[in-house]
Structure 1
């Protein structure tokens, strides 16, 4: 089963608004969300880009990524806390390369980050 409905609801979007955003009918959206019909590949790519997930994840082929953003933020906070502890003060600069490596780890090294 695809994750379209769950991702749409996570964003707080009603079916009507989502359908308008992507120029599709509500009936088409309902059929895709229920699994009655398969999401067309061009729309799957658009939806995946919008939700910042892979097409495989959107379509239910890849494992659950729940907590991804929260986990990412926690890891960045931990890097900052460690850097503060080592430096001995509260405010510290985290190198961009460290933040990018954490982000890449969480999104699977997708192109377009750098």
Structure 2
């Protein structure tokens, strides 16, 4: 397996003689910040932040749920497996929900 990368050609960037002025540097940074903080990206970032927060809270309370159920690691494993199976089924079924508007789908699935 170590010979897989033997034939890979990587350009040598150390011989690049182009220089970046301070003004070009700050303009590049400004373009990057403008892209990250554009309206669409911010909505995605907020959604991912809330999703990450909710999944972190869910994973945080699983040991307490399993302790209340009987205190065995068996229940913790079942909870983790059910979360994994739910995520897998959601990813596999996502192509069938592509035809519905995303906002209405969120509202409907919340009540479902």
Specify the TM-score bucket, using the shorter chain as the normaliser. 0.3 to 0.5
TM-score normalized by structure 2?
0.34
Structure with greater helix percent: 2
Greater relative contact order structure (CA < 8 Å, 6+ sep): 1
TM-score normalized by structure 1?
0.33
